[in-house]
Every structure is written in C-alpha cells, then in structure tokens.
Structure 1
Amino acid sequence: MSFDGMFTHAMVNELNRTLKGGRISKIQQPFANELILTIRSERKNRQLLLSAHPSYARIQITDQPFENPAKPATFVMSLRKYITSAIVQDFRQLNNDRVVNIDLSAKNELGDIHSYTMTIEIMSRHSNIFLINNDTGKIVDLVKRVYPEDNSFRGLLPGDTYQLPPAQNKMNPFEATTDDFKDLKTASDIREKFEGIGIDTSAELASIIIGGADPVEFISNYNDVVSPNTAKQEKNNKLGFFPVEFKNTTNVIGYYPTLGELLDNYYLDRARIDRIEQQTKSITHRLSIVLKKDKSKIKKLNKQLKQTKIMDEYNLYGELLTTYMSKIERGSKSIKLTNYYNDEEVTIPLNPEFSPSDNAQSYYKRYRKLQNSIPHINEQLEITTSEVNYLESVLASLEYVDIEDVDGIIEELEESGYIKKKKKGPRRKKKKTVGEHFVTSTGIPVIVGKNNIENDKLTMKLAQKNHYWFHVKDIPGSHVILESSDPDEQSIVEAATIASYYSKARESAKVPVDYLQVRNIRKPNGAKPGFVIFEGQTTILVDPDRNLVEKLRDVKKK
C-alpha cells in the first residue's frame, strides 16, 4: 500500500494519541530530505520522522537510531532557532489529502509566545517540509527550495506566503455515507470520486462493494487502528504495509502494535540502502566503471584464449610443409598434403611471396606466439576475475551492511587503492568490536564480518581452527563464524540463516550455504581481501529470515 490519504488519516490519529502536548527537545536532519524531531511526551522521548524523500516520503514515530551530520544544514538551523522547546498543540490532516500540519507554540528570546505550523506534504517527488509563521502566513524555511522558474503555481522559498497545493475537489471518504458508494463499480470510479484513496485501498473497497458489504464500515476502521500489518497482495504477490486488514485483496504475514513500528519494519532495508547510496554514490560509480572495464577485459581474454586453440593446427601445418618441402612449388597459394597422423588430406594456405621454407617457418612462428601467450592470458584472466569477484563483493556488501558500517568499507577501498585517501585531521580512534554479534538459541556465539577486511580478520586470525565457517554458495556475502567445534543442528541452521541474510541473496528463498571447519580454509598469497579457498564443505538450504536474525542478535555487543 502507498502512503495515501487513508493511511495519513490513521497516522495522524496515532500521532495525536502519542505526541500531542509534548515538547520538542531535539531537532536533527540526518539526511538531506529527512528530519527528526525528538519530542518529550508522557515522560518518554520519542522520535518523530518527517521524510520528504521522493520514494519514501512519510511521517511516523520511529525507533531507528540516527546520527547528526558534522555540519548542520541551513534548514535545521532555522528550526532550532524558532521551535526548540516548542509545544506540540495538534496534528491535523488537510481533508483526506497527504498533507499533515503540526501546530506548535514556541517562546522567543523575550518570552513572547508565537504560533508556528510544521507542514509535511507527502507527494512523491514533490514532497516537502515547511515551517510556517502563523502570524504572517509566511514560510520561515523549507527542506526543498524551489525557484519561480521551476514552479509557477506557488512560491516555495523562505519569505513566500504559504499556499496549499492544488485542490482536488473530491469528496472526503470519512464524510461519506453508504449511499455515496451506490453507483461506484470499479476501483477507478472510487478514486475519481473520493480524495486521498490510493490504488490498493480503492481495490479493496471495490471488492467490498462487489461482495455486498458496507464500505463505510471498512473506512471507519481507520479511526481506531488495531491491526497494522505487513501483507502480500494477491494480485502481484508484492509486499506492502496496511493500517487495517485488507481481507479481500491481501494475505497478512505479520502484525505490529503501532503504525510506526509497521513502517520501521517495512522501510528498514529500503531506507538503509538509499542512505548508503547517498553516502557512497561517487564511490559506487567509480567501482561500477572499473567493474565494467574488467568484465569487458575478461570477454576479450576469453576470446584470445579461444583463438589459441588453432595453434596446434599451425604446428601441424609447419610440420607437414617441412616434411613435404620438395612437393611445394614456389608461388603457390595453397597445397593439399596428407596428414600422416590420421591419413586425411589437409589443405594448407600458402603465401605465394614466401619460399616453401618461409611458409613453414611462418606457421611455426604463429604457433610459438600463441603458445607463449597462453600463460599471460591465463594470468590476466585470474587477476581480472579475482578483481571482478572482489568488486562485486564490495558492491553487494553495500546492500546489506548498516549505515554505520560504511566507513569501514570506504577504509577498505582506500587500503586497496581503489579510492584516494582523504586528508583528515587528527581524530580519536574508536574502539570497536570486530563484526556483528549473534547468539544461537542454544547459546553459541556467532560473528559476522561487516566488510572484507573484517572477513579476513575473523576467518584467518580470530576464529579457532575447530570453529565452523559459513558462507553463501557462489554468491557475494559475509564470512560467518560459529564459535563451536561440535555445534548442534539447530545452531548450524541458525548460523546458515544469518549467512544467507548477510549476503546478496537476502531477498531470495532456499539459499545454499556452505559450511566447514576453519582448519580447511586457506587464503592464497596476494589474494584480494575476503577471498579464501576451501574444500570438504557441506551445503545446507535455508531462508534468509530477518525476524529470526533480529531475534538472535546479541544486543550486549552492539
């Protein structure tokens, strides 16, 4: 389901129940399009996320950790000036549109109380966050500034008078009666008549109407949400988030106590990958160029290797021409000779300008050239293939590491020479544990490498020889160490599940995972970080179950 007006309605109700009357104690802008307001309410600090991301725009309470950037953005500095310690008076939705207003009252330096509205417009790539001075109706600041030449409908700069987005002139479904749905037959008809109803919601309402049930009763469930859920849609098997049960068009796979926790779970990987992409865009672009060149080089090398198969034919031509030299007439363009190895006739092309002896030597020369090129081609193939595997493992790791692990990957690339080391001033080295830590349900520790340098350190230095090593089969992924010489079957399955989750196969099912004792693993001299060879492994099929992985996480080691 999209974050439509119906979901917005439910979310506004949840925010009013939880945060109304609270005080803003902290304001952060961890990423360009995202804002975090820490609100002290009912003796608890809660994080309110306002996102104007073009794909993941939303408003919610979040439990995810965020860090402040070293240099605060202009927008967050404006907010800190005007609404630090402001009281949240109310959350209001504009009709049933995807526009949420947060009414705030704040004191200035003189102690005078001023009224502000924080407005978030959840409108895909046009999403935005505003701070509006209610006394003047002017925009104090906004997260995305849009200049007049790019928007002729309304001003979107500090100091402009705030105007609402273009009105849809549709009916609010929360004011509708059963009669208002009588003539509606399709999902398209419903969206045409009512404001803020997305494709998924309209499909469910159409199904309800066809089944003879009352759509107004279904809509009323949004006023007191009790079953936020993650579900798969029957039509396309796509995973979505839903504030209430869509019994006709989805199959629920999990329930959550709040809408905030539902969205945290749904956006966990999507938002993480997007934030990592923001931080590593230039790096991944560079690595992708190198990777493309390497793959092209491998194709050329394989083509050259394929061409060497003709060298034995050249050697045979040289032998036959030398043996039957007296039969060759100078100036001939070809000659038919009997191959004395199999008694078959062979037609050999000749250079008419060469003597018979020079023709034979020409074939011997081509034979030796191809023969001498094979070791070089094989060496280059090995080096280039190793680099491709390494770069693919680095790019894959960016799909499953946490945002705080990106620095380690950047450091790895600097040490490997793929990116230049940035000149930095003196800084304190953070003491950190190597890898991500887990504990199986039977109490055995499991450690996961978060980059290739950590993978090497875990496998080749820290792990004992009788510990067990896990890795997805033939797919980029983390090294996983199960710290036991005689693990039980349940622990093996759980360690394999963790290995499948921390790999490029995270979104797959029935992932093959190899495991064996560390004593059977070795690292070739000069091999890229993270590359090892092994033999005698056992392979197990598992599903990358995120719920199980989170359950096994060792929070004491965080």
Structure 2
Amino acid sequence: MSFDGMFTHAMVNELNQNLSGGRISKIQQPFANELILTVRSNRKNQQLLLSAHPSYARVQITNQPFANPAKPSTFVMSLRKYITSAIVQNFRQLNNDRVVMIDLSAKNELGDIHDYTLITEIMARHSNIFLVNKENGKIVDLIKRVSPENNSFRGLLPGDDYKLPPAQNKINPFATEDENITSLSAKDIREKYEGIGLDTSAELEKFVEQGQTLDDFIQLYQNDLYPNTANSNSKHKLGFFPILFTNTTTKINTYSSLGELLDNYYLDKARIDRIEQQTKSITHRLDIILKKDKSKIKKLNKQLDQTDVMNKYNLYGELLTTYMSKIEHGSSSITLTNYYNNEEVTIKLNPEYSPSLNAQSYYKKYRKLQNSIPHVKEQLEITTNEVNYLESVLASLEYVDIDDVDGIVEELIDSGYIKKKRKNARKKRKKKIGEDFKSTNGIDITVGKNNLENDQLTMKISQKNHYWFHVKDIPGSHVILKTSDPDEQSIIEAATIAAYYSKARDSSKVPVDYVQIRNIRKPNGAKPGFVIFEGQKTILVDPDRQLVTNLKVK
C-alpha cells in the first residue's frame, strides 16, 4: 500500500507512544528532502525521520545511520535556532489526511517559552516540511521554498501565513458513526472517505462484504496493529501494511514496529536514490561515455563484417589480372568465370581506367581492409573492455552502501574518468579494504566494495589457496572465502553474498563461479576489477538478503 491516511493514523499513534514528552537533542538534514531529529525519550535517543521526497515521503522512527553534512542547510540553521532542546508535546494528524503535525515547546535565548508546530505534508512531488510559529500562524521556514509564481493557492516562503492544503471535503472514517457500506465499491469508498488508498479500499470492500462493519475495520487500526509486508493477490506487487489485509494480500514478513517495517521496505529504494543524488553528475558522464563506446562497437563490428567484401575484392583483382586480354577499354562491367567454383561473376569497372588499373584498384581496396582488421580488432577489444568496466562501476552503485561511494569516486579519478576536486590538505585515514562477513561455520568472508578493492583483495591481500567467488558473466563484487578447504555450507553462503552484491541482486537462481585464487590472473593493462580464470566450478543460489544481513560482521 501507499503511505495513505490510514497508515498515517497508525504511524501517529506509534510516534506518540514512543516520542511524546521527549526532547530534541540534534537536528540534521543528511539529504535534500530529508530531515533527521534525534529525540531523547524514555532514556534513549531515537531518530525521527521526516521526508518530503517526491516518491518516498513519510514520517517514521528510523534505525538507519545517517551522516551529518559538514555544512548545514539554511533550513537546518533555522530549526536549530528555534527548536533545539524543544519538548515534543504530541503528534497529531490533520483529520485522516497525510499531514503530520508535531507540537513543540521551546525556550528562546531569554528563557521565554514559545510554541511551534513542525508540519510534514505527504503529497507526492508537492511534499514539504514546515516550521510554523503557533502563536501567529506564520511560516518560520520550510524545506522546499516555492515562489508565488509557481503556487497561487498559498504562500510557501518564510514569513507567509501557513495555510492548510486544499480540503477534500470527505468523511474522516475515524470520526464518524458506524455506517453500512456493503453496497459501496472500492472506488466509491475512496471517493467518500478521506485518506483511504487503493489497497486499503480494496481490503475494506472485501471486509464489509463478509458482514463486518467500518467500525470493526477502524478498531483494527486502534488495537491490532500488525506491521507487515505482503504481496497483493491480484497484482502480486509487494507493499507495506499496518494491519493484516487477509482478504487481498499474502503476508511476506512481519516487523516489531511501523518504523522497522519502513526501514526494511525502503532500504534499497532510499539507498539507491541517495546514491543517485550524490553521483548524478558522475553517472551522467559515464552514461555519455558508454553511449559513445557502444556506438563505436557497432561501427567496429560493421567494419569486421566487411571481411567477406575484402575477400571478394581480392578475387576480383585476380580474375581481372587473369582475363585482362578479354577486357575492353571503356567497359563499365565484365562477366568472367570464377575458376575456383566455375560460377559466373559480374565485376564493375571504371570505364576511365585501363584493365590493369581496374585490377590494381580492387587489390588496393583489399589491402586497405586487410591492414585495418588488426587495428579494428584491437580497438574492439579495448572498447569492449571499457564498456564492461563502466557497466561494472554503474552496477556497483546499485548495491553499495552510501558510505562506499567515495571509494568508487576515487576509483574513477584514478582511472581518469573524472577530475579530482581541489580540497584542503587533510591527513588521509587509512581505509579498510572490503566488507567483512563470517560464515555459519566461522570462516571469514570479505567482499570488495569497488573495483580497486576487488583488485586489492584478489591480487594482493588474499592467499593463493583462498577461494574467490563472482557472479557468472554479470557485474558484481569479488568475494573471498578465506580457507583452503571450504565446507559446502560456507560455499553456499559465500556464493549467496556474491549474488547479493551484484547486478543480479533481485534475481533468483543466480549462477556464481568459484575457484582458488591461484587460478586467477590479471592481464597487463586490464581495467580495475577485471581478471581471467580457469578451472572454476559454478553453483546456483538465491541472493537472500536476510542471510547476508545475519552473516555480516557488526
């Protein structure tokens, strides 16, 4: 399901249970559309995520780590000025809409108490986060400023009066008497009741068809929350749900809280989006190079296809030389017998050339093509290797963590694809190579996070009798199983990790090659991460995220 009004209602209840009465101790904005408030509540720090992302807007408690940017945004500076150390009074929802309001009480420099409301509007690309002065109703600041020319309905600049989003004039299902809605379709339910999305309306339609009431459905949201992910029975599309939708979905996983549910559901989506934000200019440049390279490969292959033409030119030269006495000067063509197969061959001639010059012209074309083939093959190999390398870099951005992006950027700088930015001279910390895992039977496993690390692990750090794993014919990380005598379980687990850290992460039955490192070598001048090997075995595995998470060394 989407983050509709019903899910928002459940989330607001969870936030009130966990954070009401807490104190804001830290404010940061790790990404353009996302705000993290660290709230000290119930003797522990908890992270409150407020997101105005156009696709993943939401409000939740999160356990995901976030880096604090070196330079705070204007919005963060405003929030730190007014609500640092503020007390969280409560969370509330605007009717059953996707608008979450956090009432705050904060002291100014003089010790006077002022009330503010931090408002998150979840409205797809119009999502926004506001800090509003509760005493005068004016916007103190907001995460997305919009000029009056682009929004005539309400002001979206600091100092404007805060105005609620346009009302839908629908019934709030949490503030109405129980009604008999057995005659309403899912579409009718959405049109009549506020904050009910597609999946919720479909479940509610089936719910009341079985003789239950709207009030029964509402009670589940009040008392029987059951955070889960599930596939819809009709579309087989994975969604997240605050209660069991037993009539329209099939349960996949359950979670202890709505926050944990969203962390897991958005884990890859949010990670990839954040990486794209950081590497947009880089990937754009690599995409341009890739497009040119692939076009070049087509042209080079087209040139290689001319081998048949080359042999034909040689034959024409031979035949014209052999039958030169039969050629009349000024002829535009001649038909001769091919003495290799006794077939008739018609050869075009330049009427301005002598018979001898026509023969030499075909020999010249033959030699030109013959001499170009080694160069074409060399260029084809170089360009194909570059395409494979760039595709491996772009693929790695799909499965690495946000902290590993710097390593990929460094790799591209070393390879000459992007220029190094000037920075103040700082003492570089020695970086740890790879990500560590441990098999169920206690064998160490290490995964390269970029091609430079792949080279380091495979060709320099690991021992020759260790085992190397890599998905078959697909971009992915090098995985090292640090043993000379692996058991079957450890082989399966190392292969699973290799499948997970590859472009085949979302596939099933992924083929993974494995071989001892002594059988691997790196050709001279090869791109980072490229190796050749022999004597490998292949195993089919599923990229099981839960298994990989359990094996990761914390």
Q: Is the 8 Å Cα contact of residues 439 and 553 (structure 1) preserved in structure 2?
A: yes
Which residue number corresponds to residue 320 of structure 1? 319
In structure 1, C-alpha distance between the alignment counterparts of 2:316 and 2:224, rounded to whole Å: 84
In structure 2, C-alpha distance between the alignment counterparts of 1:235 and 1:224, rounded to whole Å: 28
SS at match of 2:205: helix
Q: Deviations over 1:111-135 (max 9, x none)?
A: 1111111111111111111111111
Which residue number corresponds to residue 251 of structure 2? 252
Which residue number corresponds to residue 222 of structure 2? 223
TM-score under structure 2 length normalisation = 0.98
Matched, 1:157 2:157: yes
In structure 1, C-alpha distance between the alignment counterparts of 2:179 and 2:224, rounded to whole Å: 24
Q: Aligned-pair distance for 1:136? A: 1.2
In structure 1, C-alpha distance between the alignment counterparts of 2:526 and 2:124, rounded to whole Å: 45
Which residue number corresponds to residue 291 of structure 1? 290
Q: Is the 8 Å Cα contact of residues 227 and 256 (structure 2) preserved in structure 1?
A: yes
Which residue number corresponds to residue 389 of structure 1? 388
Computed over aligned residues only, the root mean square deviation of the Cα atoms, in angstroms, reads 1.1
Which residue number corresponds to residue 508 of structure 1? 507
- Structure 2 letter corresponding to 1:230: T
In structure 2, C-alpha distance between the alignment counterparts of 1:180 and 1:76, rounded to whole Å: 48
Q: Is the 8 Å Cα contact of residues 137 and 161 (structure 2) preserved in structure 1?
A: yes
Q: Deviations over 1:305-357 (max 9, x none)?
A: 11222111111111111112212221222222222222222222221111111
- Structure 2 letter corresponding to 1:38: T
Q: Give percent identity, aligned residues only.
A: 77
In structure 2, C-alpha distance between the alignment counterparts of 1:214 and 1:501, rounded to whole Å: 45
SS at match of 1:49: strand
In structure 2, C-alpha distance between the alignment counterparts of 1:359 and 1:182, rounded to whole Å: 90
Matched, 1:121 2:121: yes
Which ranges of structure 1 fall in alignment gaps of 5 or more residues? none
Q: Aligned-pair distance for 1:299? A: 0.6
Matched, 1:337 2:336: yes
Which residue number corresponds to residue 90 of structure 1? 90
Q: Aligned-pair distance for 1:533? A: 1.0
Q: Aligned-pair distance for 1:152? A: 1.0
Which residue number corresponds to residue 10 of structure 1? 10
Q: Aligned-pair distance for 1:215? A: 3.6
In structure 2, C-alpha distance between the alignment counterparts of 1:372 and 1:163, rounded to whole Å: 75
- Structure 2 letter corresponding to 1:123: M
**Which region of structure 1 is more displaced relative to structure 2, 430-439 or 70-79?**
430-439
Q: Aligned-pair distance for 1:522? A: 0.9
- Structure 2 letter corresponding to 1:25: S
Which residue number corresponds to residue 35 of structure 2? 35
Q: Is the 8 Å Cα contact of residues 14 and 259 (structure 1) preserved in structure 2?
A: yes
In structure 2, C-alpha distance between the alignment counterparts of 1:216 and 1:374, rounded to whole Å: 78
In structure 2, C-alpha distance between the alignment counterparts of 1:464 and 1:360, rounded to whole Å: 62
After TM superposition, list the pairs within 5 Å mapping 1:20-419 onto structure 2. 20-184=20-184, 186-419=185-418
Q: Aligned-pair distance for 1:399? A: 0.6
In structure 2, C-alpha distance between the alignment counterparts of 1:370 and 1:427, rounded to whole Å: 55
Q: Is the 8 Å Cα contact of residues 99 and 122 (structure 2) preserved in structure 1?
A: yes
Matched, 1:525 2:524: yes
In structure 2, C-alpha distance between the alignment counterparts of 1:486 and 1:233, rounded to whole Å: 45
Which ranges of structure 2 fall in alignment gaps of 5 or more residues? none
Q: Is the 8 Å Cα contact of residues 232 and 250 (structure 2) preserved in structure 1?
A: yes
Q: Is the 8 Å Cα contact of residues 324 and 355 (structure 2) preserved in structure 1?
A: yes
After TM superposition, list the pairs within 5 Å mapping 1:437-516 onto structure 2. 437-516=436-515
- C-alpha change, 1:275 and 1:99, in structure 2 (3 Å) is same
Q: Aligned-pair distance for 1:259? A: 0.3
Q: Aligned-pair distance for 1:218? A: 2.3
Q: Is the 8 Å Cα contact of residues 474 and 503 (structure 2) preserved in structure 1?
A: yes
Q: Is the 8 Å Cα contact of residues 467 and 482 (structure 2) preserved in structure 1?
A: yes
Q: Aligned-pair distance for 1:225? A: 4.3
Which residue number corresponds to residue 535 of structure 2? 536
Q: Aligned-pair distance for 1:183? A: 3.4
In structure 1, C-alpha distance between the alignment counterparts of 2:362 and 2:144, rounded to whole Å: 70
Q: Is the 8 Å Cα contact of residues 96 and 173 (structure 1) preserved in structure 2?
A: yes
Q: Is the 8 Å Cα contact of residues 180 and 213 (structure 2) preserved in structure 1?
A: no
In structure 2, C-alpha distance between the alignment counterparts of 1:157 and 1:317, rounded to whole Å: 79
SS at match of 1:141: strand
Q: Aligned-pair distance for 1:361? A: 0.8
- Structure 2 letter corresponding to 1:27: I
In structure 1, C-alpha distance between the alignment counterparts of 2:353 and 2:150, rounded to whole Å: 74
SS at match of 2:507: coil
Q: Aligned-pair distance for 1:101? A: 0.7
Q: Aligned-pair distance for 1:175? A: 2.7
In structure 2, C-alpha distance between the alignment counterparts of 1:331 and 1:324, rounded to whole Å: 16
Q: Deviations over 1:385-426 (max 9, x none)?
A: 011011111111111110011111111111111111111111
In structure 1, C-alpha distance between the alignment counterparts of 2:177 and 2:248, rounded to whole Å: 23
**Which region of structure 1 is more displaced relative to structure 2, 213-222 or 42-51?**
213-222
SS at match of 2:234: coil
Q: Is the 8 Å Cα contact of residues 337 and 346 (structure 1) preserved in structure 2?
A: yes
- Structure 2 letter corresponding to 1:59: V
Q: Is the 8 Å Cα contact of residues 174 and 220 (structure 1) preserved in structure 2?
A: no
In structure 2, C-alpha distance between the alignment counterparts of 1:232 and 1:430, rounded to whole Å: 45
SS at match of 2:40: strand
TM-score under structure 1 length normalisation = 0.98
Q: Is the 8 Å Cα contact of residues 12 and 93 (structure 1) preserved in structure 2?
A: yes
SS at match of 2:179: helix
Q: Deviations over 1:210-236 (max 9, x none)?
A: 333334212211113442001111122
Q: Aligned-pair distance for 1:177? A: 4.1
- Structure 1 letter corresponding to 2:440: S
Q: Is the 8 Å Cα contact of residues 203 and 247 (structure 2) preserved in structure 1?
A: yes
- Structure 2 letter corresponding to 1:61: I
Q: Is the 8 Å Cα contact of residues 393 and 477 (structure 1) preserved in structure 2?
A: yes
- Structure 1 letter corresponding to 2:16: N
**Which region of structure 1 is more displaced relative to structure 2, 2-11 or 315-324?**
315-324
Q: Is the 8 Å Cα contact of residues 10 and 225 (structure 1) preserved in structure 2?
A: no
SS at match of 2:305: helix
Q: Deviations over 1:487-523 (max 9, x none)?
A: 1111111111111111111111111111111111111
SS at match of 2:512: strand
SS at match of 1:179: coil
In structure 1, C-alpha distance between the alignment counterparts of 2:515 and 2:214, rounded to whole Å: 57
Q: Is the 8 Å Cα contact of residues 10 and 224 (structure 1) preserved in structure 2?
A: no
Q: Is the 8 Å Cα contact of residues 180 and 214 (structure 2) preserved in structure 1?
A: no
Q: Aligned-pair distance for 1:91? A: 0.5
**Which region of structure 1 is more displaced relative to structure 2, 357-366 or 261-270?**
357-366
SS at match of 2:373: helix
- Structure 1 letter corresponding to 2:466: H
In structure 2, C-alpha distance between the alignment counterparts of 1:451 and 1:108, rounded to whole Å: 48
In structure 1, C-alpha distance between the alignment counterparts of 2:223 and 2:548, rounded to whole Å: 32
SS at match of 2:550: helix
Q: Aligned-pair distance for 1:180? A: 4.3
Q: Is the 8 Å Cα contact of residues 228 and 242 (structure 2) preserved in structure 1?
A: yes
Q: Deviations over 1:177-231 (max 9, x none)?
A: 44242431x1100001100001110111112223333342122111134420011
Which residue number corresponds to residue 548 of structure 1? 547
Q: Is the 8 Å Cα contact of residues 132 and 139 (structure 1) preserved in structure 2?
A: yes
SS at match of 1:414: helix
